[in-house]
A and B are shown apart, each in its own frame.
Chain A
Amino acid sequence: MASIWRYLLAGLGLAALLAGILAIVYLTAPQSAPGTDVSRSKKTANGLFVASFQPERGVIKQGELQSWLLTLKTVKGDPVEGAAISVSGGMPQHNHGLPTSPQATDYLGEGRYRIEGLKFTMSGVWQLRFAISAAAGSDTVVFNVVL
């Protein structure tokens, strides 16, 4: 009898071990950082503008050059025209900047600016920082893009 109990105990131990291994494997699997703000529309840091940021063709493709639209409105909702925009960013988790130098290349009217030359070369959290300068003043905004 004693030996059966021993086997049962050993079996339970092994099951626990396997569960532990699986748990480790799952916990170490890549996952997007929880709590990352992925909103595509927000107020700029000092509240001067409301910025929204969308891929021009709706989808994000990894590894391909693509353009996005940055739409700038005043808090009252009026389009911001004639803004000077510079783009920077990178992947904070990997300590590197963007693989390309995106630029605002065109003003499309109604506060919409085309940001060309974006490329997301790997999965993870990408940070895009816009420095915006317009008649109302200068402000910055950061968007997170998770692939």
Chain B
Amino acid sequence: MSRLSRLLALVAVLLVAGCGKPDFSDAEKKTIASLALNALPVLKPDTTNRFADVPAAAALGSTLFFDQGMSHDGNVSCSTCHKIDRQFQDDLPQAVGVGRTNRRSMPLAGVARNPWFFWDGRRDSLWAQALTPLENPLEQAGNRAAFAHYIQKRFGERYERIFGPLPDLSTVPANASPLGNEAEQAAWKAMTAAQMDDVNRVFSNIGKAIAAFERSIEPAQTRFDRFAIDLASGAKPKADDAFSPEEMLGLKLFIGKANCVTCHNGPRFTDNSFHNTGVPPVKDLPLDRGRFDAVAQVEADPFNCFGAFRDGDAGACGELRFMVKDAPELMRAYKTPSLRGAATRPPYMHAGQFSSLEEVVAHYSAAPAAVEGTSEVHPLQLSDRERAALVAFLKTLSE
């Protein structure tokens, strides 16, 4: 062996040894601990849904979640797009229900902890969210009068054991909704206020049952979490849990120079907020302005926290009450998604714009300008090695 090659070997050994040691500062250790799953607080009760933690409601909700009868054509259920064996998402760039939508299905782990729902936050509770696809013509394409009749026919007894007596629906039209097609809207307008209220009450309880079920869907421990626990306690990680030098570098970048943790923070790796990060629109999809247009939608939703179907008092409505309504940064702002499990569920972004994590990281490194509004992301000029390290770290959140 020549001296030069011996010297090079020595350099390599020292570098690997240097990078292999978790040289984290106290501040970095604190940040890492804040991301670990054991920092996740106990799920808070949802006072707006008094059935949220009623087991029978969750059981009915689970039945409804998987029931294709809960759609206009009898082929679509919540689980069509939120697949139980696929982290409750569908691997498609845009979800396909009765028709093709313009947004990526979101996974459901920890969904009950969200203050806002959908990519743009156009609903403010899990139960109000669950109602929306039921009447969206591209998703389940049903109408609330039909759903009320269906519940009475298929699940009447189970419903009444949880929610009390069903209203008299004998004079309610078979199909009617304020959001339906022309005939359904006309039928809705012809109903009495009491009939509308009866139907809305059954409809809202459908959402409350589905939400009760969804509260049980929580994130699972990953290799990152085991690494973080060992780092905090000073224990030597088990063979499989130890991070490689590349994963270690990725984690350091994630919480440092790459600024990922600015928005992807806390044990769910999300700040639950909305940001314009310059993600390009998808050609041929309808105009999508994200949070900018969602504000009016959540305000107009009769099932929002200020509406008549909320249980409990209005003290639970802080998010809606103090919502930002008109700020330039709402334009094309979308919710920060959780990164847990992200590595095994491409494609990425609100309309599946990027097909791999490498593309996502390259986007944030380059930080192109937004087509509308202003991107909050600044260029990073990460090297190939740094981008690969970030991807390697993100994979530890799926193992």
Contacts and interface: CB of A to CB of B under 8 A. Distances in A.
A117 B318 contact: yes
Contact of A10 (B7, B262, B376): B7
A62 B374 CA distance: 25
B266 interface: yes
Interface string B218-240: 00000000000000000000000
A99 interface: yes
Given A96-B329, A116-B322, A123 B265 contact: yes
A98 interface: yes
B379 interface: no
A27 B12 CA distance: 24
B325 interface: yes
A100 to B, nearest CB: 4
B5 interface: no
B273 A121 contact: yes
A64 to B, nearest CB: 10
A121 B271 contact: yes
A18 B18 contact: yes
A94 B27 CA distance: 20
A97 B327 contact: yes
Nearest to A121: B271
B27 A29 contact: yes
Nearest to B258: A28
Interface in A1-25: 3, 6-7, 10, 14, 18, 21-22, 25
Contact of B10 (A10, A28, A62, A121): A10
A96 B10 CA distance: 48
A100 B3 contact: no
Interface string A28-49: 1111000000000000000000
B360 interface: no
A51 B209 CA distance: 48
B319 interface: yes
Interface residues of B, number: 36
B374 A30 contact: no
B27 A97 contact: no
Contacts of A122: 262-263, 265, 271
B257 interface: yes
Nearest to B327: A97
B324 to A, nearest CB: 5
Nearest to B249: A25
A92 to B, nearest CB: 13
Contacts of A3: 3
B329 A102 contact: no
A100 B324 contact: yes
B100 interface: no
Interface residues of A, number: 34
B23 A22 contact: yes
Given A18-B14, A95-B376, A100-B323, A28 B271 contact: no
Given A21-B18, A25-B23, A98 B266 contact: no
B25 interface: yes
Interface string B1-36: 001000100110010001000010101100100000
B105 interface: no
Interface in A31-89: 31, 62-63, 65
A123 B30 CA distance: 12
B321 interface: yes
B324 A25 contact: no
B266 A62 contact: yes
Contacts of A63: 265-266, 271-272
B3 A65 contact: no
A87 B195 CA distance: 43
A133 interface: no
Given A21-B18, A117-B321, A29 B25 contact: yes
A14 B318 contact: no
Closest 10 CB pairs of A and B: A117-B322, A121-B271, A100-B322, A65-B318, A28-B257, A99-B273, A121-B273, A96-B329, A29-B256, A18-B18
Interface of B: 3, 7, 10-11, 14, 18, 23, 25, 27-28, 31, 252, 255-257, 261-263, 265-266, 271-275, 318-319, 321-325, 327, 329, 374, 376
Interface of A: 3, 6-7, 10, 14, 18, 21-22, 25-26, 28-31, 62-63, 65, 94-103, 116-117, 119, 121-124
Given A3-B3, A99-B271, A99-B274, 17 more contacts: A14-B11, A25-B256, A28-B257, A30-B27, A30-B261, A31-B27, A62-B266, A65-B318, A95-B374, A97-B329, A98-B324, A100-B323, A101-B322, A116-B322, A121-B265, A122-B262, A122-B271
11 contacts: A21-B18, A25-B23, A25-B256, A28-B256, A28-B257, A30-B27, A62-B266, A65-B318, A96-B376, A116-B318, A122-B271
